[in-house]
């Protein structure tokens, strides 16, 4: 038993000795490797030290190398800057080329538009003679007429000539009206005031139109231009009619000449004289005559109010003449105007009531602002209203009872106050 135990111990001892020998061998190998690493490390340290010594000992070389590197860096930066500058120049050229391309495209579009415009008579939306813009200017003239006449109040500021107003009322009423107006005292003015304002606005407008109808100075640039434009328009009509061809330009030429010529007159006709910056003689003479004419019906006693009102009259005269004699002829077909003085029946398709009253069932007493119309090609005998006439309407129910009640005529007009 004991011998077996010793035998086992011996076996274990032999195994341990063998393992120890192996471990010792590994240690020796590791020690050898470590020695070799230390040797290599020492060699590297020596080489680094030698290299550092070489660098320290060659300062001139280092400076030269640094200078060369710095020079190359500067050259590289300079090249970069030039490249960047060229890039910007290329971008600029690209924009310039694109701008030229856009300009060419716009020129082509403009040419096509003008070619199309040469063959069409429609006025663009931003043209002042476009129907919408023209109607706005007509409304402005009506407002300016109202301002110039004034509201005829108060009595301390305005003096009204009853005799002359009565005569004007009788001269201005429609032909079928049976009323005779006689104003005898200022106490009646309140009853008649709306009608008096209306008749004075009508009178101012008709007087301005009459001034132009009688204006015949042969040296007037406007009248010379007007005559030459009409002659050229007629020649264009003859060219189309008397010469063979089928192009659209010639067919439209006479209308385009008229539109452009009268548009120019509508823009600059009777403007101030450029050289002296003074009023055109027609405007100056008409202003003086109109102010004097209106003084015979209503005299403005307040000096400041008189100055403000009379200052506006130059623009009023100029714009009335431009619109009625020039700008209406820019329309195709030509727009015309007509005073509706022959008929006392209210026609809603051609008329609108002065002061927007509610008496359309009554009879027309006076045309305040003319009908502006075009001829309807589909219905030659019917007028196509461009801007309705403004009319003053009397109340027949009240008027018919005037024989029984002498105060009813006053009541008739009092409804407009």
Task: Give me 130's structure tokens.
Answer: 């476009």
For position 109, what pLDDT does the model report? Answer: 64
Can you tell me the distance from the alpha carbon of 7 to that of 36, in angstroms, rounded to the nearest whole number? 44
249-301 tens-digit pLDDT: 898 999 999 999 999 999 999 999 999 999 999 999 999 999 999 999 999 99
H/E stretch holding 305 reads helix 303-311
The burial of 207, by beta-carbon neighbours within 10 Å (0-12 exposed, 13-18 middle, 19 or more buried), is given as: middle
For position 2, what pLDDT does the model report? Answer: 47
Of residues 61 and 362, more confidently modeled? 362
pTM of the entire predicted model: 0.68
336-375 tens-digit pLDDT: 999 998 877 888 889 999 876 666 567 899 999 999 998 8
- 291-323 core/surface letters (b: 16 or more CB in 10 A; e: else): eeebeebbebeeeeebeebbeebbebbbbbbbb
Task: Give me 35's structure tokens.
Answer: 């020695």
pLDDT at 414 over 90: no
* Residue ranges of domains in the chain: 134-414
- Identify the CA nearest to 220 among candidates 156, 161, 286, 123: 286
Can you tell me the distance from the alpha carbon of 28 to that of 19, in angstroms, rounded to the nearest whole number? 14
Can you tell me the distance from the alpha carbon of 152 to that of 159, in angstroms, rounded to the nearest whole number? 8
H/E stretch holding 386 reads strand 383-387
Section 57-69 average pLDDT = 69
For position 367, what pLDDT does the model report? Answer: 95
pLDDT at 318 over 90: yes
CB 271 within 8 A of CB 280: yes
| Region label for 355, one of left (φ > 0), alpha (ψ between -120 and 50) or beta (otherwise) | left
β-pairing verdict for 298-300 and 363-369: unpaired
First to last CA, the chain: 153
192-241 tens-digit pLDDT: 899 999 999 999 999 999 999 999 887 899 999 999 999 999 999 999 99
CB 406 within 8 A of CB 382: no
pLDDT at 142 over 70: yes
3-39 tens-digit pLDDT: 555 555 555 555 556 666 666 666 777 777 777 777 8
Sign of CA dihedral 267, 273, 274, 277: negative
71-88 tens-digit pLDDT: 777 777 777 787 777 778
Cα–Cα distances (Å) from 290 to 205, 283, 317, in that order, read 10, 10, 9
β-pairing verdict for 371-375 and 363-369: unpaired
Residue-averaged pLDDT of the chain: 82
pLDDT at 307 over 90: yes
H/E stretch holding 337 reads strand 336-338
Task: Give me 95's structure tokens.
Answer: 């924009």
Please state which of the ranges 9-23, 52-66, 382-396 shows the lowest mean pLDDT: 9-23
């Amino acid at each position: 038993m004991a011998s077996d135990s010793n035998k086992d111990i011996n076996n274990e001892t032999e195994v341990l000795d063998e393992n120890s020998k192996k471990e010792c061998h590994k240690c020796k190998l590791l020690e050898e490797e470590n020695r070799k690493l230390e040797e290599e490390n020492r060699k590297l340290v020596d080489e680094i030290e030698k290299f550092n010594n070489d660098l320290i000992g060659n300062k001139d070389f280092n400076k030269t190398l640094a200078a060369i590197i710095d020079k190359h860096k500067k050259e590289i930066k300079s090249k970069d800057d030039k490249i960047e500058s060229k890039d910007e120049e290329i971008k600029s050229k690209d924009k310039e080329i694109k701008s030229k391309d856009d300009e060419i495209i716009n020129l082509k579009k403009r040419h096509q538009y003008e070619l199309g415009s040469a063959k069409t008579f429609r006025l663009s939306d931003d043209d002042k003679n476009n129907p919408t813009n023209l109607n706005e200017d007509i409304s402005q003239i009506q407002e300016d007429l109202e301002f110039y006449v004034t509201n005829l109040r108060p009595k301390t500021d305005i003096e009204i000539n009853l005799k002359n107003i009565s005569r004007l009322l009788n001269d201005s009423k429609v032909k079928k009206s049976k009323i005779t107006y006689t104003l005898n005292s200022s106490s009646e003015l309140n009853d008649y005031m709306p009608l008096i304002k209306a008749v004075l606005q009508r009178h101012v407008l008709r007087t301005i139109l009459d001034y132009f109808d009688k204006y015949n100075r042969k040296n007037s640039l406007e009248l010379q231009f007007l005559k030459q434009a009409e002659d050229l328009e007629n020649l264009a009509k003859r060219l189309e009619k008397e010469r063979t061809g089928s192009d659209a330009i010639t067919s439209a030429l006479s209308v385009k000449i008229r539109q452009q010529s009268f548009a120019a007159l509508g823009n600059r006709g009777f403007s101030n004289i450029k050289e002296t910056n003074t009023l055109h003689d027609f405007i100056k003479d008409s202003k003086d005559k109109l102010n004097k004419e209106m003084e015979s019906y209503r005299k403005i006693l307040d000096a400041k109010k008189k100055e403000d009102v009379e200052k506006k009259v130059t623009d009023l005269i100029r714009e009335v003449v431009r619109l009625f004699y020039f700008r209406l002829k820019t329309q195709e077909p030509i727009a015309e105007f007509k005073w509706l003085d022959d008929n006392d029946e209210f026609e809603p398709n051609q008329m609108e009531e002065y002061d927007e009253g509610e008496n359309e069932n009554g009879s027309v007493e006076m045309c305040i602002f003319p009908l502006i119309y075009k001829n309807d090609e589909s219905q030659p005998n019917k007028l196509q209203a461009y801007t309705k006439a403004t009319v003053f309407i009397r109340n027949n129910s009240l008027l018919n009872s005037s024989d029984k009640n002498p105060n009813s005529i006053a009541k008739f007009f009092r409804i407009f106050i």
